[in-house]
Chain A
Amino acid sequence: DAGITQSPRHKVTETGTPVTLRCHQTENHRYMYWYRQDPGHGLRLIHYSYGVKDTDKGEVSDGYSVSRSKTEDFLLTLESATSSQTSVYFCAISDRGGARNTEAFFGQGTRLTVV
């Protein structure tokens, strides 16, 4: 299995509090992604990174920020959590971008509940 770890795996937080999710990889892959998955919506891209300090927005980036200060870590921050951000969050890594990619690996997911 690819070396990708998400933490925490489960978290319950209160509305209005900041939350940071961490994705750690040991594969030295260039791309790192954060997705959220909700019933009926498939997998939606929040933010992605294509190198250290190089990040860009995905299709559902509002309310989220990211940082990548070193190759192995990609942090997702909810500055002020809302109930609509209750979801399962997946991190993924890949050595190259685009849909031709065959080497994208996903973490086990983080289940976040905002009450």
Chain B
Amino acid sequence: LAKTTQPISMDSYEGQEVNITCSHNNIATNDYITWYQQFPSQGPRFIIQGYKTKVTNEVASLFIPADRKSSTLSLPRVSLSDTAVYYCLVGDIGSGNTPLVFGKGTRLSVIA
């Protein structure tokens, strides 16, 4: 499983765009980049996944440069309800029986 590095915490005001960058220098050819979101007192939930370039859904956008050694999760015009921990995971479905492993994530606090 590729090691990831992301900021421990970030603060933002409501209405701003928030970009959370994840570094994964040893990403493998078959690895995908997946982001999970965890609200206080809840378990994480999947929000977006990508392999290269840009992916967008109703929640966020994911930007992946050509070298794939980093990725940026972009949340447009955040609101107080976007306050959560965001986890970046890098890997494939794995050979054998590979578990789902999370790191410490980035704690985003949105301020009114």
Residues of A within 8 A of B (CB): 31, 33, 35, 40-45, 48, 50, 54, 56, 58-59, 90, 92, 94, 96-109
Contact A96 B93 (CB under 8 A): yes
Q: Contact at A104–B99, with CB atoms within 8 Å? A: no
What is the interface size of chain B, counting residues whose CB is below 8 A from a CB of the partner?
A: 30
Contact partners of B31 in chain A: CB under 8 A:
99-100
Interface contact A35-B46, CB-CB below 8 Å: no
- Choose one: A42, A48, A102; the contact of B99 (CB below 8 Å): A48
For this complex, 9 residue pairs linking A to B, each with C-beta atoms less than 8 Å apart, are A33-B100, A97-B97, A98-B1, A98-B92, A98-B93, A98-B98, A99-B32, A99-B89, A100-B34
Report yes or no: A107 in contact with B92, Cβ–Cβ below 8 A: no
Q: Taking A99-B89, A100-B31 as contacts, is the C-beta distance between A45 and B99 under 8 angstroms?
A: yes
Given A42, A56, A94, A108, which contacts B100 in the complex, CB threshold below 8 Å? A94
Please name the residue on chain A nearest to B93 by beta carbon.
A98
Distance, CA A45 to CA B44, complexed state (A) = 13
Q: How far is the CB of A38 from chain B (nearest CB, A)?
A: 11
Cβ B34 vs Cβ A101 within 8 A = yes
